[in-house]
Amino acid sequence: MQSRQNIRPVRGFTLIELLVVVSIISLLLAMLVPTLGRIKFLTRTSICASGLHQLALGMCNYATANQGYLPRQDMGGTGRNLWDVSNDFRLILQNRYGVPHAMFFCPDLAPSRSQPGGYDYYGYFTLLGYMLWVPRLNGNVSIPPETGLIPDEVIRGPIGSADPKADAVLNPIVTDIVGTSLSRDNTLDPSTHGAEMGLSATHCQGRNLYWSNQAFGDGHVETVPGNRVRCRYGGVPVGNWFNWR
């Protein structure tokens, strides 16, 4: 005679237990999503910094072949913001020095512009995806000017490797776009008041500035916290935006 095994019924989860598990999973997801969002944001910032580095290196290669002078390419009397550059600036760096089209635009501000052919073209000048601080003539006006809104502060970038400003920490050659309309307040901290300032900038969390990438004359890039960014210049006849760095 075969022995009978004790068979115990399988106990399932109760509704309350399932609700507890679902609640715990929901809580964990709620804690994880902001972290993933921040990681994604920081990744985009790093990608932009890498592109800016390649653009700066292309400018340095241009300088090596042109007696130490960085590319400037003067323009006519329109397009006076720092992101307005001569078409030759983009074409020379792209065709002679191998700077890819995507490197002229931060993908965090305008992803469509980083695609081939995705740039805004206005006759003889192009809207760059960064702000160019190398001084150039726009008609009879130099942009950027030698000094800006802060008394005695020299804001222009270097014109080349022999320029004493080439190694200055406060004078990059190209930076992320950070701008506000001339009708807005230019004295607030963009890292905490960007929304009320009407800030137009890359690397914002919400509407406040978190980071700004800045490239220097030797090609290196620094990522500057938003609370260190200040308004440098703006207004007629220079431009129609306040420019921040």
Mean pLDDT per 10-residue section of the chain, whose length is 245 residues: 55 66 69 60 78 93 94 84 90 92 81 65 84 91 88 89 77 93 90 91 86 91 93 76 92
Paired strand residues for 174 = 132, 215
pTM of the model: 0.82
Distance CA 222, CA 214 (A): 5
Going by C-alpha positions, the residue among 180, 175, 243 that lies closest to residue 208 is 180
Distance CA 166, CA 216 (A): 7
Q: What is the pLDDT of residues 52-100, one digit of tens each?
A: 999 999 999 999 999 999 998 998 877 788 999 998 998 999 999 999 8
- DSSP letters spanning 70-130: PP---B-SS--STTEEEHHHHHHHHHTT---GGGGB-TTT-GGGGSTT---EETTEEE-BE
Residue keyed to tokens 């406060």 = 170
Strands 141-143 and 136-138: antiparallel
